[in-house]
């Protein structure tokens, strides 16, 4: 029962992390304009994401423009896009697989060994999903840092970390933590085989007593 609760905890942690990954993908605040200079005009705030760039005015009006061309984007934006989309897809597959492999579900309950392996597969996919998100967000953050500290970058053209990066780091951590729980909560092969053998023996003895 405790092992089943451990699986449920890991599943919901990973599910919450996957929802955070989707939010990170959609948010445009991957980087925002910096106000580190004295001559910076703060009437308009600029921020940019993987899919669009936005301008926020002091009146509260926000205007966004979707990137027109994919091939004209920087390499780190294209790479971050690919990794984050792959992360979302792997997380979706991991959600389905983990439900099948968890002990609290009845799907494939007659073979605990196969069921435990399915749960491990879901946990591994969650780990890979979180890792892809972590690499995507960290790579983007590295590019923002390099451009910020580059002396050739004008002061009014510098950007800092946006809120989406912090959401992405937190989501990746939750997803990997939940995936690790799913992988560690499963019994070894010998224990699962013995459990399956005892289950079969109990069913056979029950049938004989009934006869």
Predicted pLDDT at 2: 46
> What is the CATH number for 8?
1.20.140.150
Q: Has residue 76 been placed in a domain?
A: yes
Tell me if 11 sits within 8 A of 182, measured CB to CB.
Answer: yes
d(Cα 155, Cα 148) in Å, to the nearest integer?
9
pLDDT at residue 204 in the model:
45
Sheet holding 159-161, edge to edge: 62-66, 52-57, 44-48, 31-33, 159-161
The structural domain count of the chain equals: 1
Query: In this structure, is residue 10 part of a structural domain?
Result: yes
- pLDDT profile of the chain (211 residues), mean per 10: 76 95 94 67 77 83 85 88 96 93 72 82 95 96 90 80 94 95 68 47 46 41
pTM summary value: 0.81
Domain annotation covers residue 35: no
pLDDT for residue 78: 92
Q: Which residue segment(s) compose the domain that 131 sits in?
A: 2-30+70-201
In a domain? residue 85: yes
């Amino acid at each position: 029962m405790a092992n089943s609760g451990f699986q449920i905890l890991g599943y919901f942690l990973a599910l919450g992390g996957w929802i955070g990954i989707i939010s990170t993908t959609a948010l445009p605040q991957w980087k925002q304009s910096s106000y580190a200079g004295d001559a910076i005009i703060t009437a308009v705030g600029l921020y940019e994401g993987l899919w669009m760039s936005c301008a926020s005015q002091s009146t509260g009006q926000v205007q966004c423009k979707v990137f027109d061309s994919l091939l004209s984007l920087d390499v780190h934006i294209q790479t971050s896009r690919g990794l984050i989309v792959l992360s979302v897809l792997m997380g979706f597959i991991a959600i389905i697989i983990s439900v099948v492999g968890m002990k609290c579900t009845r799907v494939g309950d007659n073979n605990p060994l196969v069921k435990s392996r399915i749960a491990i597969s879901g946990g591994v996919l969650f780990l890979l999903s979180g890792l892809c998100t972590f690499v995507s967000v960290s790579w983007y953050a590295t590019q923002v840092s390099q451009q910020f500290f580059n002396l050739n970058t004008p002061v009014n053209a510098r950007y800092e970390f946006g809120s989406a990066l912090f959401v992405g780091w937190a989501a990746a951590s939750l997803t990997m933590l939940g995936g690790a729980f799913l992988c560690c909560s499963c019994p070894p092969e010998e224990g699962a085989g013995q459990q399956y053998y005892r289950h079969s023996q109990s069913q056979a003895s029950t049938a004989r007593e009934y006869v």
